[in-house]
Amino acid sequence: MHLTELFDENMIELHGEYSSQTNFFKKISSRLQELQYVKEEFCNKIQEREKKFPTGLVTKSFDVAIPHTDPEYVKRSFIYVIRLKPTLAFCKMGTDPMEHELVYPKLIFLLGVNKGELQLTILQSLMKLFSNEKQMSSLLEIKEKSSFLQHLQKYLSTNEI
Amino acid sequence: MKKVFKMKKLRIISVCGSGTVTSSMIANKVKDLLEDNGISATTVEVNPGGVEQLVVSGSYDLIVHTSPLLSAYTIPTINAVGFLTGMEEEEFIEELLKTAKELTK
């Protein structure tokens, strides 16, 4: 499977507005369940995991987050991309959530992967993208969903790991 | 007299939430980096719950982690999140090499 197949225009939000992290996870999860990508437990599991192992990341451009959970709650692999405005607080990856070390992601890549190996490829490609300041700033500026998707797919297909 | 060059092998525990994905990515990068600096390393990837047992076994030298650890351990630990994203990468590399050299003295 090619990385670019994991994206879909139906799973890109360029104007994501959510009142809280819980609200965010609930709405996205129910959308994903409607689209038959995840199982019912996905919503709780992804929140539980985020509380234990936070996924907020600081990059050279701006903060991002890559929430995900175990493969068993995912029916089909996907990457759901949300551009948040206003942003939401996420705890920083690698820190103890009790310490409340927060980041404020402008972009969220919510990952659903039902094969462990694929997850490593996705992660490597995303990290490469996150360190590319030019690509990242384009992702904040693009106005159309279709061009956002094209841009992302073009970058990821030329950077196959 | 012939000098025998003995290189110590570092045994590293790489930790992430799932014990598979991020930890493998970090483990590979760490091994490459150490090798480039003349230090040989082997790694094992676990989730936070698996660390205790490995540390207690006494056969590991160092922990690198991208998820919070469950407690304090007797061997050095280094947060490797900066090494994932490239942010604070220099600081991570510096700390890793310093610790690795200390351990292989």
> Which of A32, A11, A16, A140 has its CA nearest to residue A88?
A16
Task: Name the residue among A49, A120, A130 with its Cβ closest to that of B85.
Answer: A130
Task: Name the residue among A52, A53, A120 with its Cβ closest to that of B24.
Answer: A120
Element (H, E) at B65: strand B62-65
Q: What SS3 class is residue A151? A: helix
User: Please, which residues 41-60 of chain A have a Cβ atom closer than 8 Å to chain B?
Assistant: 49, 52-53, 57-60
Query: pLDDT band at residue B7, thresholds of 50, 70 and 90?
Result: low
Residue A115: predicted pLDDT: 79
Catalytic residues of B: 16
Is the confidence at residue B3, as pLDDT, over 70?
A: no
B34-89 pLDDT, tens digit each: 999 999 999 999 999 999 999 999 999 999 999 999 999 999 999 999 999 888 89
Residues of chain A predicted below pLDDT 70: 116, 159-161
The amino acid at residue B26 is I
In this structure, CATH architecture of domain A3-158: 3-Layer(aba) Sandwich (3.40)
β-pair type (A56-57, A64-65): antiparallel
Cβ neighbours around A20 below 10 Å, total:
10
Phi-psi region of A131 (alpha: psi -120 to 50; beta: other; left: phi over 0): alpha
Question: What is the average pLDDT across B85-94?
Answer: 91
For residue A70, what is the nearest residue in chain B, using CA coordinates?
B18
Is the confidence at residue B4, as pLDDT, over 70?
A: no
| CA separation for the pair A158, B26 (Å, rounded) | 23
A113-124 pLDDT, tens digit each: 987 678 888 998
Q: Is there a contact between A130 and B20 if contact means CB atoms under 8 Å apart?
A: no
